[in-house]
Structure 1
Amino acid sequence: MPEAKREAWITGVGIVSTLGEGADAHWQKLSAAQPGADTTTFAPFVVHPLAPLNFDAQIPKKGDQRQMENWQRIGTYAAGLALDSAGVKGKPELLSQMDMIVAAGGGERDLNVDATILNGYTQAANPAAFLNERLMGDLRPTLFLAQLSNLLAGNISIVHGVTGSSRTFMGEEAAGVDAVRIALSRITAGQSDIALVGGAHNGERPEMLMLYEFAGQCLKDKFAPIWERGDKGGFALGSLGAFLVIEARDHAEKRGAKPLARLSAVVADRASRKPGTITETLGKLWDKIKDKVKGGQTAILSGATGSTQATAEERAFLEQHGELAVRATATYLGHGMEPQFAMNVALATVALAHGSLYPPSDQTGLEKPMSGSLDQVVVTGVGHWRGEGMALVERVG
């Protein structure tokens, strides 16, 4: 890959999940090495619910909160944390020039409206007319607009004043990889100076659990760490929001901002998913960054979902690099689809700030303790169905 024209720093991190709010809460819970999940609320499905948040802290207007769905509240809240972390919150001279790249799904269903329509449809004298009337009357314009993925970017602009260019990507895990990849590419090419990048996901949604279970993807009945789920595994959906402020070094230095980490590379691909292709594709992505990887002071933060084929093939790749310590974050967070990659880049940044890796949570032997300082983290992202990505995050100084 071509040499970066400009160095890209991560100067802000905003994360919320089942582990809590902010970098410190996440580091403390990861260091405690006690993964947990909710196995009862959506039984038989296992879910990682969002920790309690006071949305007023980042979304002060109740009217703004009311017109958002929960995934938008999560994302807007996490974006505010990232802006605070970067020291740009409330500074219009910076926010007006800040680009925004969001990875998001298509919004949430109104289950009450759905149930009312389905029940009435079967009893209506003229089902077609009934359906048209109910869709026109029950789906308010604001509710309909809330299904648009780019409304998260719009809400962040309204609440936080980020008014540079805006892009929104859909496409599950691959959307998150491309959001970070394009932000880095634009900064290193001189097309952007500072960008807010990330997304949000609400995993506590019956209709999404139903959708993924149609494909046999959901973890059910009993929680287990990622690498211990075996052939009948699956992913446990998680509610999470993750945003990064990625900034050109010269721009950060000019305003006196300190780097949390350096984002040195992001590469992506889309394997055919025939047997063996994920392992092969991850090897090709590794070849693009391996010259920058130092070895002994490097770890791999895996975005493995738990989905059987994808996780088994990623494990085969990871076992080829047994000299590096591995951690699967979804053991703790659950799987958050679009924002998962940004979240893992954020957690890599947090670990680098502490100069160490949190303990393993795995009885299969893949995750091993790491001693010594941590200088680099390779972040992987393998979609449960499509898309692969890899990032290199490094300590600065």
Structure 2
Amino acid sequence: MRDVVITGIGIVSCAGEGLDAHLAALSGVPNTDAETFAPHPVHPATALEWDRQIPKKSDQRQMEAWQRLGCYAAGLALDSAGVKEDAELKGRMQLIVSAGGGERDYAVDGQILAGLRTAEDPGVFLNERLMGDLRPTLFLAQLSNLLAGNISIVHGVTGGSRTFMGEESSGVDAIRIARERIASGQDDIFLVGGAYNAERPDVLLIYEMGGFLWKRPYQPVWSRPADGGGMILGSAACFLVLESREHAAARGATPLAALAGVASDRSRRQSGSVEQALHGLSRELKGKPDVVISGATGLRGITEEEQAALRDVAPGAAVHATGDVIGHAMEAQAPASVALAAGLIANGTASDALVTSIGHWRGEGALRLTKA
């Protein structure tokens, strides 16, 4: 099996643009918008000069916010890896994207929700309105694989692409599949990552209906369960360039960190299942971490279980929550956490890092990074 290394990172969020800004934000308080979607705070994406990574205005106009964020972060990752101008290399570079769907027609959604309250047969009413009111072209514009298509078009990454959906777990599995394909010798280099736009009434409505959102002024992830718990969503995108150690050496690239292992699980979420899953995933990775980058949500129950597990599997390690840097970015959470861990290893702060991803509803993942 070949070693897999990280040679490029592109990340944007409320903390700013680039890895250095995000490492600096580990010790600060994240930028929060508590007014636009009150009572739900969100972590808004920083203002970006889109032309720097998406030169054509026509490309920018046809992308929704999550696609622009992802396309921009992908460009930063290619720059970071030193491959932006290498058309031959990008022509065989594989692409894996973790993303959800696009934005909805808010006017239609509002009309349907209002009508459901008085509908004689809510099921029939809902089906009729969905079939009659939603434009097929709207669905085409929402497809998650359009982000992969836009990255291919704008940046010329055309070796082949895959798109994973499934909230937090899709980010873990996107990285896992890329790593396994490189380690096994099937491919040499991947661009892998995700994007998420939290500044949307429709997603806030969905998660609020499930009882998942935090509705008070900002508090750190680990302190929220004591007050009922909840997520603060964040707009963010992160892409990583992964390649075999031999491939990186052949082109003279300096790795930031090695991706030593990725493990994932899907427990039934009974009491204690998250803690048990993390113990099992940690044993599978066989690390002795001196730093933990946690994708914890801040939800009551699973957050305390993760804390308990981390005390066992990473005793004495410094623990940071990605949610306290960028908010909770769903599909982009695991790539962003890996980026932070790689940065801490690259600057000498850590030598062995554990990254966790506990989905708000389902899905557990863990990743191990070491010195390159």
After TM superposition, the score normalised by the length of structure 2 is 0.93
Letter of the structure 1 residue corresponding to residue 366 of structure 2: M
Partner of 2:122: none
Shift >4 Å, 4+ stretches: 115-123, 127-134
Whether 1:288 and 2:274 are equivalent positions in the alignment is no
In structure 2, C-alpha distance between the alignment counterparts of 1:391 and 1:131, rounded to whole Å: 40
In structure 1, C-alpha distance between the alignment counterparts of 2:334 and 2:246, rounded to whole Å: 26
Residue among 346, 366, 370 paired with 1:390: 366
Q: Given that residues 48 and 238 in structure 1 are in contact (C-alpha distance below 8 angstroms), is that contact kept between their aligned partners in structure 2?
A: yes
Q: Secondary structure at the match of 2:267?
A: coil
In structure 1, C-alpha distance between the alignment counterparts of 2:173 and 2:150, rounded to whole Å: 21
Aligned 1:265-304 pairs, distance under 5 A: 265-290=261-286, 292-293=287-288, 298-304=290-296
Uncovered stretches (5+) of structure 1, i.e. residues with no partner? 357-373
Partner of 2:60: 65
Deviation at 1:326, TM superposition (A): 1.0
Matched residue count: 363
Whether 1:262 and 2:254 are equivalent positions in the alignment is no
In structure 2, C-alpha distance between the alignment counterparts of 1:45 and 1:129, rounded to whole Å: 31
Shift in alpha-carbon separation, 1:131–1:169, aligned structure 2, 3 A: closer
**Residues 59-80 of structure 1: CA deviation (Å, up to 9, x unaligned):** 1111111111110011001000
Partner of 2:343: 350
Whether 1:96 and 2:91 are equivalent positions in the alignment is yes
In structure 2, C-alpha distance between the alignment counterparts of 1:116 and 1:99, rounded to whole Å: 42
Q: Secondary structure at the match of 1:187?
A: helix
Letter of the structure 2 residue corresponding to residue 106 of structure 1: G
In structure 2, C-alpha distance between the alignment counterparts of 1:334 and 1:176, rounded to whole Å: 15
After TM superposition, the structure 1 stretch with the greater mean CA deviation from structure 2, 108-117 or 35-44, is 108-117
Q: Given that residues 225 and 299 in structure 2 are in contact (C-alpha distance below 8 angstroms), is that contact kept between their aligned partners in structure 1?
A: no
Letter of the structure 2 residue corresponding to residue 341 of structure 1: A
**Residues 337-356 of structure 1: CA deviation (Å, up to 9, x unaligned):** 01100100011111112212
Whether 1:49 and 2:41 are equivalent positions in the alignment is no
Partner of 1:311: 303
Shift in alpha-carbon separation, 1:134–1:24, aligned structure 2, 3 A: same
Deviation at 1:36, TM superposition (A): 3.9
**Residues 190-237 of structure 1: CA deviation (Å, up to 9, x unaligned):** 011000000100001111111101111001122110111124110000
In structure 2, C-alpha distance between the alignment counterparts of 1:224 and 1:252, rounded to whole Å: 41
Partner of 2:217: 222
Q: Given that residues 310 and 385 in structure 1 are in contact (C-alpha distance below 8 angstroms), is that contact kept between their aligned partners in structure 2?
A: no
Letter of the structure 1 residue corresponding to residue 262 of structure 2: V
Letter of the structure 2 residue corresponding to residue 348 of structure 1: A
Residue among 315, 319, 324 paired with 1:331: 324
Partner of 1:365: none
In structure 1, C-alpha distance between the alignment counterparts of 2:130 and 2:18, rounded to whole Å: 44
Whether 1:168 and 2:144 are equivalent positions in the alignment is no
In structure 1, C-alpha distance between the alignment counterparts of 2:114 and 2:270, rounded to whole Å: 42
Aligned 1:102-117 pairs, distance under 5 A: 102-115=97-110
Q: Given that residues 310 and 383 in structure 1 are in contact (C-alpha distance below 8 angstroms), is that contact kept between their aligned partners in structure 2?
A: no
C-alpha RMSD of matched pairs (Å) = 2.0
Whether 1:21 and 2:17 are equivalent positions in the alignment is yes
In structure 1, C-alpha distance between the alignment counterparts of 2:166 and 2:19, rounded to whole Å: 27
In structure 1, C-alpha distance between the alignment counterparts of 2:151 and 2:50, rounded to whole Å: 13
Partner of 1:377: 353
Partner of 1:242: 238
Whether 1:6 and 2:2 are equivalent positions in the alignment is yes
In structure 2, C-alpha distance between the alignment counterparts of 1:140 and 1:305, rounded to whole Å: 34
Q: Given that residues 30 and 43 in structure 2 are in contact (C-alpha distance below 8 angstroms), is that contact kept between their aligned partners in structure 1?
A: no
Letter of the structure 2 residue corresponding to residue 340 of structure 1: Q
In structure 2, C-alpha distance between the alignment counterparts of 1:214 and 1:240, rounded to whole Å: 23
**Residues 127-153 of structure 1: CA deviation (Å, up to 9, x unaligned):** 898875643xxx362x32121111110
Uncovered stretches (5+) of structure 2, i.e. residues with no partner? 120-124
In structure 2, C-alpha distance between the alignment counterparts of 1:327 and 1:48, rounded to whole Å: 17
In structure 1, C-alpha distance between the alignment counterparts of 2:49 and 2:144, rounded to whole Å: 24
Q: Secondary structure at the match of 1:312?
A: helix
In structure 1, C-alpha distance between the alignment counterparts of 2:298 and 2:205, rounded to whole Å: 17
Shift in alpha-carbon separation, 1:194–1:322, aligned structure 2, 3 A: same
In structure 1, C-alpha distance between the alignment counterparts of 2:142 and 2:250, rounded to whole Å: 39
After TM superposition, the structure 1 stretch with the greater mean CA deviation from structure 2, 185-194 or 301-310, is 301-310
Letter of the structure 1 residue corresponding to residue 323 of structure 2: A
Letter of the structure 1 residue corresponding to residue 254 of structure 2: K
Deviation at 1:29, TM superposition (A): 2.4
Q: Given that residues 22 and 325 in structure 2 are in contact (C-alpha distance below 8 angstroms), is that contact kept between their aligned partners in structure 1?
A: no
In structure 2, C-alpha distance between the alignment counterparts of 1:205 and 1:57, rounded to whole Å: 25
In structure 2, C-alpha distance between the alignment counterparts of 1:309 and 1:169, rounded to whole Å: 27
Q: Given that residues 117 and 134 in structure 1 are in contact (C-alpha distance below 8 angstroms), is that contact kept between their aligned partners in structure 2?
A: no
Q: Given that residues 214 and 232 in structure 2 are in contact (C-alpha distance below 8 angstroms), is that contact kept between their aligned partners in structure 1?
A: yes
In structure 2, C-alpha distance between the alignment counterparts of 1:347 and 1:40, rounded to whole Å: 28
Q: Given that residues 322 and 336 in structure 2 are in contact (C-alpha distance below 8 angstroms), is that contact kept between their aligned partners in structure 1?
A: no
After TM superposition, the score normalised by the length of structure 1 is 0.87
In structure 2, C-alpha distance between the alignment counterparts of 1:133 and 1:169, rounded to whole Å: 29
Q: Given that residues 353 and 395 in structure 1 are in contact (C-alpha distance below 8 angstroms), is that contact kept between their aligned partners in structure 2?
A: yes
Q: Given that residues 291 and 317 in structure 2 are in contact (C-alpha distance below 8 angstroms), is that contact kept between their aligned partners in structure 1?
A: yes
In structure 2, C-alpha distance between the alignment counterparts of 1:145 and 1:380, rounded to whole Å: 33
Q: Secondary structure at the match of 1:101?
A: strand
Deviation at 1:319, TM superposition (A): 2.1
